[in-house]
Amino acid sequence: MAEQTPEKLVIIGNGMAPGRMLEELFEKAPGRYQVTIFNAEPRVNYDRIMLSPVLSGEKDYEEIIIHGDGWYIKHGITLYKGHKIIGIDRNAKTVTSDHGVTESYDKLVIATGSVPFIIPVPGKELQGVITYRDLDDVQAMLLAAQSREKAVVIGGGLLGLEAAAGLKARGMDVTVLHVMPTLMERQLDPAAGYLLQKAVEERGIKVLTKANTKRILGETRVEGIELEDGRIIPATLVVMAVGIRPNAGLAKDAGLAVNRGIVVDAGMKTSDGDIMALGECAEVDGMVYGLVAPLYEMARVAASHLAGDRKAAFVHSDTPTKLKVTGINLYSVGDFADGDGREEIVLRDATAGIYKRLVLKENRIIGSVLYGDTADGAWFNDLLKRGTDISEMRDTLIFGQAYQGGAPLDPTAAVAALQDDAEICGCNGVCKGKIVSTITSKGLTSLDEVRAHTKASASCGSCTGLVEQLMSLTLGDSYNPTAVQPVCGCTDLGHDEVRRLIKAKGLKTIPAVMQELEWKTSCGCAKCRPALNYYLVCDWPDEYADDYQSRFINERVHANIQKDGTYSVVPRMWGGVTNSQELRAIADVVDKFNVPMVKVTGGQRIDLLGIEKEDLPAVWADLGKAGFVSGQAYAKGLRTVKTCVGSEWCRFGTQDSTGLGIRIEKFMWGSWTPAKVKMAVSGCPRNCAEATCKDVGVVCVDSGYEIHFAGAAGLDIKGTEVLGLVRTEDEALEHIVALTQMYREQARYLERIYKWAKRVGLDEIRRQIMDDAEKRKAYYDRFVFSQKFAQVDPWSERVSGKDKHEFKPMATVGFNQAAE
């Protein structure tokens, strides 16, 4: 029993480095230590690298957690969240937190990471000036971004650019200030830095190089930045991303040897034999690190020592740098400065936006910079690490691995040619052999499984492509990474493919689609038929005969089915405006048909609930006499345009929001869309019509009409994105119509605008609708054309006899017999 008493291991800091160390330790020496962790951040260990995707909205915090609470419980770890250690007593062997908890240790590990560097300019302490290091910073940025105002990011390095891209994606107007002449100058040569700057600017982010910040302006909150050259840049948010410093103050106060970081030997031991340090706070052999790959190596070494293996030693290696901004590919590793005895090979392809540069010394690669096409990064890095003599393939080296030995230009072949110990995942140091053997021995079939078992592609994710290629190499045809979700069980094709083929092959009926695209069932199912019917209605408005048997009951009978099989009826009230005559007609219908419930809807309409199907045509006839048409409250189509009273009545109104709403509704009613479309127009930014959670919304301002889209307020809640500002009502209508048509033509059936927009990209939509007048006009014209066939009031058609069979029972039988 006594010999089993675990030693006490205390860890300061709960970042990625100690998290990895513990994983390795629990594997090597389970149960040997009783672990206690103090973490100044009030949370578990998460993937700090992935904060940028959280900022840009591509991931949620929950998705980047490395160790959930359950993991700590499972390993019996005491985790003090939100406890900062303020003192280490090396004689007593205790640490004390700012909340007064004191814990004794046998072994202490310091893993306090880094602190962001704050440039010492006046105004640095103003509200709205933040750094970029942890989840709290991301949340502060997200909050600030809601204003959609101006942000300045100081620092054009990896972190700064990721922050800028994220803020831009959240709708802010972003300027990046960088002191040096080119971006990311420590990782990129000037040529690649220039290409990067262009790509960043193309995203609508302004970049000022050689920009020296003089002071930050503002009283209590930041209002702007003044540069040394006198320029002033207004901003309500300033993000400082100018570098990091090892967080070594605590160690220094405790009397440990500290240089730039906490000095440790190759076994991660500090100047005190019972105290180790690792992560960004540690300095080994004069070097400090800021990327996870070497930190994970430190973690491995530290775990070995804690488990009793004293031979493990940290060795330096270069880590490639990649930028995690979707759509920008860059890769750099090693040393690429010019110098004596160095040669270089450069490939430029201006049209494709590709730049590659290899720096050679004595026929060996010592550095590489790839921009635009980074597929060969891993291979070049492999040659660099091995010190391979490249004289043999010198002429074709720059074209990449696929060109060597006449191998076909197949990316999988390139991966196949890699040696077993070639590194695939830089962050986690996972080599090809490990991945392949794990896939085979564990029978893995999905990327997530490979991530879970090998850690490959589990950190920054930039090697995902390589890992997928390895999977298809190992698993053959049974692995299909790009497998699309089929429309339904009747076909293997996805929605996009079906839409494309309908156009390409000129398919104009549902049977033609099913025949040509080799449907597996004879007449489809309730999932694919409504989708196909919509696609055909949208693509061939003048030629296609709507197949009502392929529509859901609501659209077939133009009313909403309720749980008891009765229907609800919502007449159209343009823009939510009505009058005494209309209200009287509604009241009469309610009395005449004993309508059990009358209700005002969220879309500013009146809903008559509980109407028997057989009564529908008569109800519509009465409503029709008062001038009502169908409100299409049942349709995957334009439903409602909500409005506020605007400049006509409201003292704040800037434009005639009611008028515009009515105009939009009269223009667009009757159109079928992939999913329902709800709109709103507010007369000023007070936004009484709640336009900023609609599929499409307009917020009127003094200078015109701000068009919003891609909001949601149902199962998901999401504020809208701004499409752009237009000056006149005519322009507003044209832009909204064009946007809707683009959505009609591209979205998958039942995909709301916000989901479609997320898939195709907000920038792409803005580019086509705001910037490309020709495209916009073409969309607009196609919408107008299709409206010729769509704007027929379905109620009056049915009042005059269409689809009679829908509303009457076929027969009423058997009552005599039963009465006997």
Ligand X SMILES: Cc1cc2nc3c(=O)[nH]c(=O)nc-3n(C[C@H](O)[C@H](O)[C@H](O)COP(=O)(O)OP(=O)(O)OC[C@H]3O[C@@H](n4cnc5c(N)ncnc54)[C@H](O)[C@@H]3O)c2cc1C
Residues that bind other proteins (CB under 8 A): 521-526, 529-530, 548-554, 556-557, 561, 563, 565, 805, 809-815, 817-819
Q: CB of 567: closest distance to other proteins in angstroms?
A: 10
Q: Are 495 and 456 in contact (CB under 8 A)?
A: no
Strand partners, 707: 698, 724
Q: Residues within the annotated binding site for siroheme?
A: 688
Span 14-33, contacts to ligand X by CB under 6 A: 14-18
- The Cα-based distances of 730 to 118, 180, 664, 700, 736 in angstroms read 49, 46, 10, 13, 10
Instruction: Pick the piece of the chain touching ligand X (CB under 6 A) from 39-47, 166-174, 338-346, 358-366.
Output: 39-47
Instruction: Pick the piece of the chain touching ligand X (CB under 6 A) from 290-298, 343-351, 355-363, 750-758.
Output: 290-298
Here's the x/- map for ligand X, 260-279, by CB under 6 A: it reads as -------------------x
Reduced to 3 states (helix: H, G, I; strand: E, B; else coil), residue 450 is helix
Distance separating alpha carbons of residues 718 and 710, to the nearest angstrom: 8
166: contact with ligand X by CB under 6 A:
no
Residue 255 buriedness (CB in 10 A; 0-12 / 13-18 / 19+): exposed
Q: Choose between 552 and 789: whose C-beta lies nearer to other proteins.
A: 552
Q: Of other proteins, ligand X, ligand SF4, none, which one sits near residue 687, judging by CB under 5 to 8 A according to partner kind? A: ligand SF4
Instruction: State the DSSP code for 204.
Output: T
Q: CB of 279: closest distance to ligand X in angstroms?
A: 2
Q: Of other proteins, ligand X, ligand SF4, none, which one sits near residue 652, judging by CB under 5 to 8 A according to partner kind? A: ligand SF4
Interhelix angle for 158-169 vs 190-202, to 10°?
A: 10
Q: Of ligand SF4, ligand X, other proteins, none, which one sits near residue 523, judging by CB under 5 to 8 A according to partner kind? A: other proteins
Reduced to 3 states (helix: H, G, I; strand: E, B; else coil), residue 774 is helix
Q: CB of 197: closest distance to ligand X in angstroms?
A: 20
Q: Of other proteins, ligand X, ligand SF4, none, which one sits near residue 529, judging by CB under 5 to 8 A according to partner kind? A: other proteins
Q: Choose between 16 and 528: whose C-beta lies nearer to ligand X.
A: 16
53: contact with ligand SF4 by CB under 6 A:
no
Q: Choose between 12 and 422: whose C-beta lies nearer to ligand X.
A: 12
Q: Are 90 and 79 in contact (CB under 8 A)?
A: no
Distance separating alpha carbons of residues 147 and 162, to the nearest angstrom: 20
Distance separating alpha carbons of residues 168 and 171, to the nearest angstrom: 5
Interhelix angle for 158-169 vs 135-145, to 10°?
A: 40
532: contact with ligand X by CB under 6 A:
no
Q: Residues within the annotated binding site?
A: 644, 650, 684, 688
Q: Of ligand SF4, ligand X, other proteins, none, which one sits near residue 683, judging by CB under 5 to 8 A according to partner kind? A: ligand SF4
Reduced to 3 states (helix: H, G, I; strand: E, B; else coil), residue 756 is helix
Among 40, 288, 370, 611, which residue sits at the site for ligand X (rule: CB under 6 A)?
Answer: 40
In the chain, what is the straight-line distance between the N-terminal and C-terminal CA atoms, in Å? 89
Neighbours of 811 (CB within 10 A): 6
Q: Of other proteins, ligand SF4, ligand X, none, which one sits near residue 550, judging by CB under 5 to 8 A according to partner kind? A: other proteins
Residue 576 buriedness (CB in 10 A; 0-12 / 13-18 / 19+): buried
Q: Choose between 644 and 710: whose C-beta lies nearer to ligand SF4.
A: 644
| Secondary structure (DSSP) of 112-153 | --EEE-----TTTTSBTEEE-SSHHHHHHHHHHHTT--EEEE
Among 210, 686, 777, 808, which residue sits at the site for ligand SF4 (rule: CB under 6 A)?
Answer: 686
Here's the x/- map for ligand X, 121-140, by CB under 6 A: it reads as -----------xx-------
- Residue ranges of alpha helices (H) inside 558-597 are 580-592
Q: Choose between 106 and 614: whose C-beta lies nearer to other proteins.
A: 614
Single-letter code of the amino acid located at 25: L
573: contact with ligand X by CB under 6 A:
no
283 sits in which H/E element? strand 282-284
Which two tokens mark 72? 């700590």
Among 113, 261, 400, 603, which residue sits at the site for ligand X (rule: CB under 6 A)?
Answer: 113
Q: CB of 301: closest distance to other proteins in angstroms?
A: 52
Q: Of other proteins, ligand SF4, ligand X, none, which one sits near residue 645, judging by CB under 5 to 8 A according to partner kind? A: ligand SF4
Instruction: State the DSSP code for 76.
Output: T
Buried b (16+ CB within 10 A) or exposed e, 309-323: eeebebeeebbbbbb
Q: Choose between 501 and 701: whose C-beta lies nearer to ligand SF4.
A: 701
Strand partners, 367: 334, 359
Here's the x/- map for ligand X, 417-456, by CB under 6 A: it reads as ----------x-----------------------------
Neighbours of 495 (CB within 10 A): 21
Single-letter code of the amino acid located at 35: V
- Residue with smallest beta-carbon separation from ligand SF4: 683
Q: Of ligand SF4, other proteins, ligand X, none, which one sits near residue 174, judging by CB under 5 to 8 A according to partner kind? A: none
Q: CB of 511: closest distance to other proteins in angstroms?
A: 9
Among 10, 23, 44, 48, which residue sits at the site for ligand X (rule: CB under 6 A)?
Answer: 48
Neighbours of 348 (CB within 10 A): 14
Among 688, 710, 722, 736, which residue sits at the site for ligand SF4 (rule: CB under 6 A)?
Answer: 688
Q: Choose between 621 and 750: whose C-beta lies nearer to ligand SF4.
A: 750
Q: CB of 550: closest distance to other proteins in angstroms?
A: 7
85: contact with ligand X by CB under 6 A:
yes
Number of residues that bind ligand SF4 (CB under 6 A): 13
Q: CB of 507: closest distance to other proteins in angstroms?
A: 18
Which two tokens mark 280? 């960004």
Using DSSP bridges, classify how beta strands 567-569 and 606-611 pair: parallel, antiparallel or unpaired. antiparallel
Q: Choose between 490 and 644: whose C-beta lies nearer to ligand SF4.
A: 644
Dmax (CA) for the chain in angstroms is 112
Distance separating alpha carbons of residues 85 and 77, to the nearest angstrom: 17
Distance separating alpha carbons of residues 714 and 645, to the nearest angstrom: 25
- Residue with smallest beta-carbon separation from ligand X: 15
Distance of CA 758 to the CA centre of its chain: 8
Span 627-656, contacts to ligand SF4 by CB under 6 A: 644-646, 650, 652-653
Among 182, 438, 682, 768, which residue sits at the site for ligand SF4 (rule: CB under 6 A)?
Answer: 682
Number of residues that bind ligand X (CB under 6 A): 37
Neighbours of 2 (CB within 10 A): 4
Which two tokens mark 434? 């490990």
Reduced to 3 states (helix: H, G, I; strand: E, B; else coil), residue 433 is helix
Among 10, 77, 88, 111, which residue sits at the site for ligand X (rule: CB under 6 A)?
Answer: 111
Task: Enumerate binding residues for ligand SF4 (CB under 6 A).
Answer: 644-646, 650, 652-653, 657, 682-684, 686-688
Task: Enumerate binding residues for ligand X (CB under 6 A).
Answer: 12-18, 38-41, 48-49, 51-52, 84-85, 111-114, 132-133, 159, 162, 247, 250, 279-280, 290-293, 295, 324, 427, 460
